[in-house]
């Protein structure tokens, strides 16, 4: 469905950030592996997460929705996950499929994974290779893409893996496989990636050891362990909160409060960068919920200045570069974002898609092999942008349109529901004008 965003007056109001996507996936997977019941509140009911919920049912757990955001899982415990009778469709979700591949590997199982066109073009070798070293067998397309079938005897050996990627998906897949492996399974990363799996595994009773190594870490899990069901409250997603936050920062006169935003240090690189650019962004009312720090974020319209984003900050804001590029388009001076070649293998080639979004709408932008340089100023808008079935490109384009001289159209907005099903509702609540055309 083509969708248009128009220039509007100031954005005002108080909204709640939707549940965190990373933590929602993990809560369903660990709950399904655990013994006993897991009660979840605040679950993100986006399409990516619903695909994981469905997958856990196919793998033998009982996942049930009680009411909005409230779910109960009866986990498989010692009986273990079972081979599904049909392929598991992970839809658009890279996190879902990569974590599931790790989770099932520790059981005697055979399972086929598939996904939509975007997911079927994304690399899976980064997870399949270490899992193969642990003892699984797999078949997939030549390019190591989906569909892929994993066959495991359930007798994995523990490994001490040094990851070439600072990727929480790779780290998590190995740790999840390590749950049912005898001995200590370790993964070393040169730069810190998000640590939600470590935090949640501890909450489910696993022994996790973390050793700092320079800028990175070695994370180990001692297996085998029977996870125990627990209660999980999902905090608000900083990656989703980024869209209304930047909408307010670029729209003159705006003043909004986004409540319940997770402030885990491995996730808030964008907020640090916006503050360095001169944004009025204040986090207040800090508290903890479900083992994570959360806060309310107050933002106001601000004249931003371009900055050079430190490359080592990338893992803590890897999903936020497209929307940061929108902020940079309205900033004074040049913003340089390099060291983010990983963006090319997300739901779309996000470097290329962001470049196209900006150049088509009159922004001075240069594409590098590993990033972008954006010279801010006026945004003429007026173009129709191709989203390549990527939710973060779609939302970034619509936010760019909120202060552009002419409305910006996107080819389709349906995939926004994968991560932020309440996007349109919340943006309308603070006064944005975004119209989905029939």
**Residues labelled as active-site residues:** 319
Task: Give the count of residues interacting with ligand S3P (CB under 6 A).
Answer: 10
Residues numbered 93 to 152 that lie near ligand S3P (CB under 6 A) are: 95
Name the residue number minimizing CB distance to ligand S3P: 22
**Residues 6+ away with beta carbon under 8 Å from 208:** 175, 198, 201, 202, 219, 220, 221
163 by DSSP, 3-state: which? coil
Work out how close the CB of 193 gets to ligand S3P at its nearest, in angstroms, rounded to a whole number. 6
Work out how close the CB of 183 gets to ligand S3P at its nearest, in angstroms, rounded to a whole number. 24
Binding mask 153-172 for ligand S3P (x = CB under 6 A): --------------xxx--x
Residue 318 within binding range of ligand S3P, rule CB under 6 A: yes
Q: What torsion, rounded to 10 degrees, do the Cα atoms 240, 379, 433, 47 define?
A: -30
Work out how close the CB of 41 gets to ligand S3P at its nearest, in angstroms, rounded to a whole number. 19
What span, in angstroms and rounded, lies between the C-alpha atoms of 428 and 25? 27
Residue 403 within binding range of ligand S3P, rule CB under 6 A: no
- Nearer CB in complex with ligand S3P: 2/265: 265
> HEC profile for 369-436?
CCEEEEECCCCCECCEECCCCCHHHHHHHHHHHCCCCECEEECCCHHHHHCCCCHHHHHHHCCCEEEE
Q: What is the DSSP secondary structure assignment for residue 215, as one 8-state letter?
A: T
Work out how close the CB of 270 gets to ligand S3P at its nearest, in angstroms, rounded to a whole number. 13
45 by DSSP, 3-state: which? coil
Work out how close the CB of 229 gets to ligand S3P at its nearest, in angstroms, rounded to a whole number. 21
- Nearer CB in complex with ligand S3P: 49/331: 49
Contact criterion met (CB below 8 Å) for 89 and 97: no
Helix axes 21-33, 47-58, angle to 10 degrees: 10
What span, in angstroms and rounded, lies between the C-alpha atoms of 248 and 363? 20
Residues numbered 345 to 364 that lie near ligand S3P (CB under 6 A) are: none
- Nearer CB in complex with ligand S3P: 154/339: 339
Strands annotated E in 263-328: 280-289, 292-300, 308-309
Pairing of strands 334-337, 308-309: parallel
- Nearer CB in complex with ligand S3P: 237/296: 237
Record the tokens describing residue 360, joined without a space: 């088509």
Binding mask 221-260 for ligand S3P (x = CB under 6 A): ----------------------------------------
What span, in angstroms and rounded, lies between the C-alpha atoms of 60 and 309? 45
- Nearer CB in complex with ligand S3P: 95/220: 95
Work out how close the CB of 343 gets to ligand S3P at its nearest, in angstroms, rounded to a whole number. 9
Residue 319 within binding range of ligand S3P, rule CB under 6 A: yes
Work out how close the CB of 6 gets to ligand S3P at its nearest, in angstroms, rounded to a whole number. 29
Pairing of strands 408-410, 3-6: antiparallel
Neighbours of 148 (CB within 10 A): 23
288 by DSSP, 3-state: which? strand
Binding mask 282-311 for ligand S3P (x = CB under 6 A): ------------------------------
Residues numbered 11 to 50 that lie near ligand S3P (CB under 6 A) are: 22
Work out how close the CB of 420 gets to ligand S3P at its nearest, in angstroms, rounded to a whole number. 12
Binding mask 167-206 for ligand S3P (x = CB under 6 A): xxx--x--------------------xx------------
Strands annotated E in 141-215: 148-153, 160-162, 183-189, 208-213
- Nearer CB in complex with ligand S3P: 196/298: 196
- Nearer CB in complex with ligand S3P: 58/194: 194
Bridge partners (DSSP) listed for residue 35? 228
- Nearer CB in complex with ligand S3P: 123/183: 123
Give the H or E element holding residue 67.
Answer: strand 62-67
| Site residues, ligand S3P (CB under 6 A) | 22, 95, 167-169, 172, 193-194, 318-319
């Amino acid at each position: 469905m083509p969708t248009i965003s128009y220039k509007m007056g100031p954005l005002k109001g108080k909204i709640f950030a939707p549940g965190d996507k990373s933590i929602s996936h993990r809560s369903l997977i660990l709950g399904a592996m655990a013994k006993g019941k897991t009660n979840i509140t605040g679950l993100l009911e986006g399409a990516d997460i619903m695909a994981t919920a469905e997958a856990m049912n196919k793998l033998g757990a009982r996942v049930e929705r009680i009411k909005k955001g409230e779910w109960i899982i009866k986990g498989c415990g010692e009986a273990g996950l079972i081979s599904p009778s049909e392929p598991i469709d992970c839809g658009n979700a890279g996190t879902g499929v990569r974590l599931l591949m790790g989770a099932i590997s520790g059981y005697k199982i055979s399972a086929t994974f598939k996904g939509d066109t975007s997911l079927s073009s994304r690399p899976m070798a980064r997870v399949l290779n270490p899992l193969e070293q642990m003892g699984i067998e797999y078949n997939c397309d030549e390019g190591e893409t989906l569909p892929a079938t994993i066959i495991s005897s359930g007798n994995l050996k523990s490994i001490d893996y040094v990851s070439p990627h600072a990727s929480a998906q790779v780290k998590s897949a190995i740790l999840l496989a390590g749950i049912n492996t005898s001995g200590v399974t370790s993964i070393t990363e040169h730069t810190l990636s998000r640590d939600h799996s470590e935090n949640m595994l501890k909450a489910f009773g696993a022994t996790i050891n973390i050793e700092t190594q320079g800028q990175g870490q070695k994370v180990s899990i001692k297996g085998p362990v029977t996870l125990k069901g627990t209660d999980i409250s999902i905090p608000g997603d900083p990656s989703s909160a980024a869209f209304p936050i930047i909408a307010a920062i670029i729209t003159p006169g705006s003043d909004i409060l986004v409540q319940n935003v997770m402030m885990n240090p491995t996730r808030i690189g964008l907020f640090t960068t916006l503050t360095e650019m001169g944004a009025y962004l204040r986090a207040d009312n800090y508290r903890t919920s479900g083992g994570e720090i959360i806060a309310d974020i107050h933002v106001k319209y601000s004249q931003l200045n371009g900055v050079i984003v430190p490359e080592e900050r990338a893992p803590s804001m890897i999903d936020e570069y497209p929307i940061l590029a929108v902020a940079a388009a309205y900033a004074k001076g040049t913003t340089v974002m390099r060291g983010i070649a990983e963006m090319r293998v997300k739901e779309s080639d996000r470097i290329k898609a962001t470049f196209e979004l900006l150049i088509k709408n009159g922004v001075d932008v240069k594409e590098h092999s590993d990033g972008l340089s954006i010279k801010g100023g006026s945004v003429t808008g007026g173009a129709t942008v191709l989203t390549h079935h990527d939710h973060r490109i779609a939302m970034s384009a619509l936010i760019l349109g909120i202060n552009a001289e002419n409305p910006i159209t996107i080819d389709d907005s349906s995939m926004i529901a994968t991560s932020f099903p309440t996007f349109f509702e919340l943006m309308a609540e603070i006064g944005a004008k975004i119209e989905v055309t029939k």
